[in-house]
Amino acid sequence: MSRHERSSALPANLPPWRRYPIGVELAPDGGAHARVWAPGKRTVEFAAVGDADRDALTPLDSEGNGYFSGFVRSASAGTRYRFRLDGAESYPDPASRFQPGGPHGPSEIIDARAFAWTDAAWRGIELPGQVIYEIHLGTFTAAGKFRDVIARLPDLVDLGVTVLELMPVADFAGRFGWGYDGVDLFAPSRLYGRPDDLRALVDAAHQHEIGVILDVVYNHLGPDGNYLTCFSNDYLSKATTEWGDAINFDGNDSAPVREFFLTNARYWIDEFHLDGLRLDATQQIWDRSSPNILREIGEAVRAAAPERRTIVIAENELQLARLVRPIERGGDGLDALWNDDFHHTAHVAATGHAEAYFTGYRGSAQEFISCAKYGFLYQGEWYEWQHHGRGTPALDLEPPAFVNYLQNHDQVANSSKGARLHQTASPGRVRALTMILLLLPQTPLLFQGQEFAASAPFLFFADHHAELSAAVRKGRADFLRQFASINTPEGVAALDDPADPETFVRCKLDWSERAAHAEALHLHRDLLALRRHDPVLSRQPRLDGAVIGDHSFVLRWFDPDGADRLMVVNLRDRYNAQPAPEPLLAAPDQKRWSVLLSTDDPKYGGWGIAPIGHTKSSWWIAGESAAILAAVSDDA
């Protein structure tokens, strides 16, 4: 098969009941059909792993195009197997649906039809109106299993979350890790349970009207347990990424590689009823093809569940707006991009620390207004930290296409000690920034425990053998050296060891803090209720903003019926504007401003002493606070 021969249709020689072009699938009447790509191999055998000294072998037929396939009559659900290549070494299935003993062990045949779904009425999600909540399966609960998340779903509903985003679950080597070094991309990690346990989590989330999307890594493969190159070196390209060899999406024999990853995207949506994908670090996915692999991944996700609405979100450090433009307008048709610009300006505003990649941000009032109106701050301007322009024009994109956050797994861990924002900034600023995050028209994302000011850090952790652990430890320290505050002998020495089990255990959430830190929880819950139910904010009409002080600004939502909303933010000391010649501060004709919610309210941990007010000639707002006001009739 040449690099240009690409098709989503199954080959004609496969049984009509097969759903995918690769892997092992059970036949309706018993037995299983196996298919694997192993170009350059003379023979491939299905090796059923038994108790005897020798495995039971079934030869697969060469199709003459690098694929080998055949029917295995003795196979059934639970059969463990490998593929033996050229009568020598045996390896796990590259498209294994489960690795009960981890990446180095045999694969297991899974019956995807056995699970009894109850979500037939679920119609999926579309991006506008969503509130995303990112979790790491191993640390979200004490046990760290798929099914344990189910017990916490009512808490997320109560909070106002509508989409659960799972950090990668594809199986990887070791006892714990972030999941970004996955090597069995079709196999939910045995660390979190079995495949049906993930199905149970998704099914339960849908019963709670919560969508579930999965973070997938299509830019590189992990360094331990990756056997794909034993089947073909063409899985990887000559290009490299920050984490190893890049995937071969446009080189020699790239068509089967593309088929592998497109099948993976469809598989998660189809067999696990997931509502979409989050694509990790797409700036490290190298593809000069047209259409490129990112567009085809989006199309594969849509095709996998035409009866449901699905979303595809990309992380893209380059901030390429093209990725989310509609295909008919020359884009790639994805739904949203993570917005580091919002995070970075909020980080600087909250902490005053503007080192490394934060140096291009001031945390100013104008930056927040620009984020609210235009999404990205850098849309091609010069970015001193990288010594080149950053971003592309994105003024035509709708606000939901930008995913904003104050915390995520990367940014919390990059504080070196895994510190959360409430541990590095004043309470008032954190509350004010929380209002900005949760009421802006962009799509907000919360990181696990953020809503109740969790004390658990989120550190980088990865369990590998000794030699690889040493390399990972050095690589992590080298990465963090970009921060001057860390790049000292004492700072580097104080970094937590990623391979230490205690580093992982310390990151587990303590859910009892949800009651102990009720003030933070109430603020998040009340703001999300406003976002969802307020007749103006829920529709997100036209928005404008103005700077009224060095660290103070206003945002105004213009309602067609005159019921405007006004957000007033002050990120420093008490601000008093007298006079206040700013048109956005003027209430609509025959109306006045009434406070809907102030972050300085005592029930949120504020002082509550005249948090905001105005006269005919002046406005004042408490220090480090924000308030949302509604235009109401004078006689109301």
pLDDT (tens digit per residue) in 554-599: 999 999 999 999 999 999 988 887 777 899 999 998 899 999 999 9
Q: What's the predicted TM-score (pTM) here?
A: 0.96
Compute the mean pLDDT over every residue in the chain, rounded to the nearest whole number. 94
Residues that are catalytic: 280, 315
Superfamily of domain 23-108: Immunoglobulins (2.60.40.10)
The CA distance from 576 to 545, in Å, is: 18
Residue 3's pLDDT is what? 45
23-108 and 541-633, same CATH topology? yes
Q: What percent of the chain has pLDDT over 70?
A: 97
Mean pLDDT of 499-518: 97
Mean pLDDT of 253-260: 96
Phi-psi region of 78 (alpha: psi -120 to 50; beta: other; left: phi over 0): left
Residue 370's pLDDT is what? 98
Mean pLDDT of 312-341: 97
Looking at per-residue confidence, does 56 or 407 come out higher? 407
Q: Write out the two tokens for 579.
A: 């006079």
pLDDT (tens digit per residue) in 347-369: 999 999 999 999 999 999 999 99
DSSP-derived letter for residue 275 is -
pLDDT at 432 over 70: yes
The CA distance from 369 to 543, in Å, is: 10
pLDDT (tens digit per residue) in 70-119: 999 999 999 999 999 999 999 999 999 999 999 999 999 999 999 999 99
DSSP-derived letter for residue 124 is B
Mean pLDDT of 24-45: 97
Nearest to 201 by CA among 118, 92, 282: 118
Q: What are the φ/ψ torsions at residue 80 (nearest 5 degrees)? A: -105, 140
Region 132-528: CATH code: 3.20.20.80
pLDDT (tens digit per residue) in 184-215: 999 999 999 999 999 999 999 999 999 999 99
pLDDT at 6 over 80: no
Give how far Cα 279 sits from Cα of 4, 300, 301, 499, Å.
Answer: 24, 13, 12, 26
Residue 9's pLDDT is what? 65
Q: What are the φ/ψ torsions at residue 48 (nearest 5 degrees)? A: -75, 125
Query: What single-letter amino acid sits at 129?
Result: G
The CA distance from 461 to 464, in Å, is: 10
The CA distance from 500 to 508, in Å, is: 14
Q: Which residues contact 228 (CB under 8 A, 6 or more apart)?
A: 94, 183, 221, 235, 236
Mean pLDDT of 220-239: 95
pLDDT at 610 over 70: no
pLDDT bin (cut points 50, 70, 90) of residue 4 is very low
Give how far Cα 290 sits from Cα of 249, 250, 252, 253, 347, Å.
Answer: 11, 10, 16, 16, 38
Mean pLDDT of 464-476: 92
For the chain, the domains span: 23-108, 132-528, 541-633
pLDDT (tens digit per residue) in 521-559: 999 999 999 999 999 999 999 999 999 988 999 999 999
Give how far Cα 600 sits from Cα of 133, 270, 526, 564, Å.
Answer: 25, 46, 13, 22
Looking at per-residue confidence, does 609 or 558 come out higher? 558
DSSP-derived letter for residue 241 is E
Range with lowest mean pLDDT among 259-273, 401-415, 444-458, 605-619: 605-619
pLDDT at 174 over 90: yes
Q: Structurally, what CATH architecture does the domain formed by 541-633 represent?
A: Sandwich (2.60)
Q: Which residues contact 424 (CB under 8 A, 6 or more apart)?
A: 350, 351, 415
Residue 1's pLDDT is what? 38
